[in-house]
Amino acid sequence: MTIPSDEPVAEETRPVTLPDQVPSGTWGGEPMDEPLIAGYGGTLCEITVSGIICGHQAERLIREANIFNPSPDAGNEFILISVTMRRLSESHALRTSPHDFHLRGGDEDYRNVFARMPPTHPHYPDSIPSPEDEVSGWLLFEVPSGRDLTLVWSPLGDPAGFIHLGRGGGDELAERIPGPILSPGTPFIYMDARKSNELSIMYQYSTFRSSFTYESDQGLVSQSARDGSKYLLTCLQVTHRGNHDGLYYLAEIPRISAFTLYGPETIYTPVEMPGRRSDHISLGELYTETILERKENKQGFLLFEVPDDFTLDDAYLGVIPLKETGEVFWTL
């Protein structure tokens, strides 16, 4: 606990010096070890961090809240922190807001990212709580993945208390992925092998199903996932964006074999159905290899069979459009 004096605070923010002993906690939504008791301007407060969501789980929550919300830069991650503040004293009123909190990692400070939050994770509000009132909400930050972090409470810009959060991220799968990682809806743009045409490929969304039907050479076939498994359908769109040389206007799109689904422990390849009469199954149109003319596009599903406990939070979709581009990845 640190209690600053009642002396007037300078206008500029003071340098942050972290104490040797501060409350600490763990990631993954677990409560912190203990609340922080700290005071400012004669008002004593209790601040508790009750949960943390980080990595692509946090990114997915922010993306689903509003499609126009920002995405973290490469090598960074979003961190959502649930904070509750309770006034313990009846002295001076104290306004609280998201601006009172920032993250400290090494020598860097990270400020709030203001985006539209999902209803299940409302913003930490701007308010003046009465004695014994509680103010709760979520703070959103963008920080480098794996950074050891401390939450700093700085009312009016003056550091008054610290909660050590520990090391964020820890997404070992992401650390093993050797290429750029894109968010759903973000296209990867490249030139075809002839360097004649510009194409883009984009992962859009995923859905799970247990069975489907399709027309085969032998008639209607009903196909169900094996016991303990389910189907994951990933929707893709490839677009011919235009020709650059005035000579070769046709462009091949990536083969099905160019795609790979990466789970936390297992790598999956797309399911193929020999004898299928068309690209359509009861769930929609499948992604198939084709040649596009200028301004054409191809949209369809890749089909993977995955375990029942498979979640999108633990997965990446990879594709090698060309040998020259290397593999490109999307979070699901």
Q: What is the pLDDT of residue 67?
A: 78
pTM here is: 0.51
Instruction: Please give the pLDDT value at position 306.
Output: 92
Of the segments 41-45, 278-282, 295-299, which one has the largest average pLDDT value? Answer: 295-299
Burial status of residue 59 (CB atoms within 10 A of its CB: 0-12, 13-18, 19 or more): buried
Span 170-196, mean pLDDT? 75
pLDDT value at residue 70: 86
pLDDT of residue 84 exceeding 70, the answer is yes
Kindly state the percentage of the chain with pLDDT values over 70: 84
Question: For residue 30, what pLDDT band results from cuts at 50, 70 and 90?
Answer: very low
117 with 81: CB under 8 angstroms? no
| Per-residue pLDDT tens digits for 185-226 | 888 999 998 899 999 999 999 999 999 999 888 889 888 998
Q: What number is the average pLDDT over the span 30-34?
A: 52
Average pLDDT, the chain: 81
Taking phi first (over 0 means left), then psi (-120 to 50 degrees means alpha), and beta for anything else, what does residue 106 get?
A: left
Residue 110 has pLDDT above 60, yes or no: yes
Question: Which is higher by pLDDT, 20 or 146?
Answer: 146
Does position 231 have pLDDT exceeding 60, yes or no? yes
At residue 76, does pLDDT exceed 90? no
What average pLDDT does the segment 32-47 reach? 77
What's the chain look like in SS3? CCCCCCCCCCCCCCCCCCCCCCCECCCCCCCCCCCEEEEECCEEEEEEEEEEEEHHHHHHHHHHHCCCCCCCCCCEEEEEEEEEEEECCCCCCCCECHHHEEEEECCEEECECCCCCCCCCCECCCECCCCCCEEEEEEEEEEECCCEEEEEECHHHCCCEEEEEEECCCCHHHHHCCCCEECCCCCEEEECCCCCEEEEEEEEEEEEECEEEEEECCEEEEEECCCCEEEEEEEEEEEEEEECCCCCCCEECCCHHHEEEECCCCEECCCCCCCEEEEEECCEEECCCCEECCCCEEEEEEEEEEECCCCHHHCEEEECCCCCCCCEEEEC
Long-range contact pairs involving 67-74 (C-beta distance under 8 Å, separation at least 24): 67/185, 68/116, 69/115, 69/116, 70/113, 70/115, 71/183, 71/186, 72/142, 73/142, 74/180, 74/181
**pLDDT reported for residue 62:** 86
Q: Which residue has the tokens 């709580």?
A: 129
